[in-house]
Amino acid sequence: MHIVNQGDTIKLGKYFKVEFIRSSHSIPDSVMLAITTPVGTILHTGDFKVDYTPIDGQLMNLGRIAELGNKGILALMSDSTNSERKGFTMSESSVGQLFDTLFLNCTKRIVVATFASNVHRIQQIVNSAVKYGRKIAVCGRSMINIISTSIELGYIKCPDNLFIDIDMIGNYTDDQLVIITTGSQGEPMSALTRMAAGDHRKIKITPNDLIIISATPIPGNEKYVSKVIDDLMQLGAEVVYSALANVHVSGHACQEEQKLIMALTKPKYFIPVHGEYRQLRAHAETAELMGISKDNIFMLTNGKVLEINEEECKFNGVVPSGKVLVDGLGVGDVGNIVLRDRQHLAQDGLIVIVLTMDSQTGEVVAGPDVISRGFVYVRESENLMDDVKSVVRHEISLCEQRGVRDWATIKSTVKENLRDYLFIKTKRNPMIIPIIMEV
């Protein structure tokens, strides 16, 4: 096994090579990919920002990026997450100063929730814990895996006895502990969410806890994060989050950093990536300000195929994209129709109408019997069930009078008229399944 380091170049056959360039994101192994093909070089930034005072002292290799730009970049694919924000993103090192302030003279147990992938943020928590004589316990599977791997590879530097097992926290006083956990986005099954709900098996939140949520909500997660904060406060804990203090800085470039990368690379084509549509649009507008022709800026959506060479860049068809659902042993066999039926059952329930009919005369021999699941409680709705049976009998009688003997037509008629009746009576629309047995 060969470990690829930043700055390495990998040649894949005779067709293209991939070069890894340091991108100065808060994650040490985050890199820009320069992919050189027979038609030119494509630079993909990944998540990046330009940090002039990074935690590990390794600056972005702007010289190499400029060198590639002078040779000619065919296309630039650039992170758009902060494209609506002017100026520069704050340095990751600024968070460490605030951690020191919060740790200073704190007699409470400190719980810090952050992104598991943000190794430099974890390093700053480690630095403050060492400075103020606290042990660290780690909670959350992804956090445990990343911290252990980062220590093994030398990305996180700490004393040998700093980290303790989560089961050992009872051996230390609150002012001797820091707990690093996942759940900064309020994910339903994350460690911090379970702590806030009182469901965590190892950690119980008390009024003697200081909770630091070192992250800002990703768009769409605001409601979940707010609920976690509310639940933690209701348990009496002190909670510090991004709205109250600068406990988080973004790992994504703002407009001036985006302009810097465009100025260095001078791409022929520009493709904004990594963001909501409004952020992609804002990044495209920044590219226009930097002199890139509007005709050479392409907004992609999932599944669209973009063909690119030295002469032209154009959309050429689509490929299948979207979610692939895993259900039991099946992969991808649950589609929109099945999901729609499940949602229908979950919202309005199910009614099964069972009839036994004479195959010769078409007369009803037994039934109708009504089976209800998730619609109404039968024992408390006997009158409604009797009315349902009456409606079914009436529709069957009408079919007999009209000489309708086709079972598919009978089922359809019963289903449609019963659906209308139930909606008038209950304002609900349960799934109705008529079953006719012949004798």
Which residues are catalytic, by number?
79, 252
| Dihedral angle of Cα 91, 93, 98, 101, to the nearest 10 degrees | -150
Q: Which residues pair with 40 in a beta bridge?
A: 37
Structure tokens at 351: 């009614």
CB atoms within 10 A of CB 267: 26
Which is nearest to 411 in space by CA: 391, 426, 395? 395
- DSSP 8-state symbol, 16: E
Q: How far apart are the first and last CA of the chain?
A: 71
Strand boundaries in 281-421, DSSP class E? 304-308, 313-318, 326-327, 330-331, 350-357, 364-373
Rounded to 5°, the CA angle 424-425-430 comes to 85
CB 183 within 8 A of CB 113: yes
Burial 347-382 (b: 16+ CB within 10 A, else e): ebbebebbbebeeeebebeebbebebeebbeeeeee
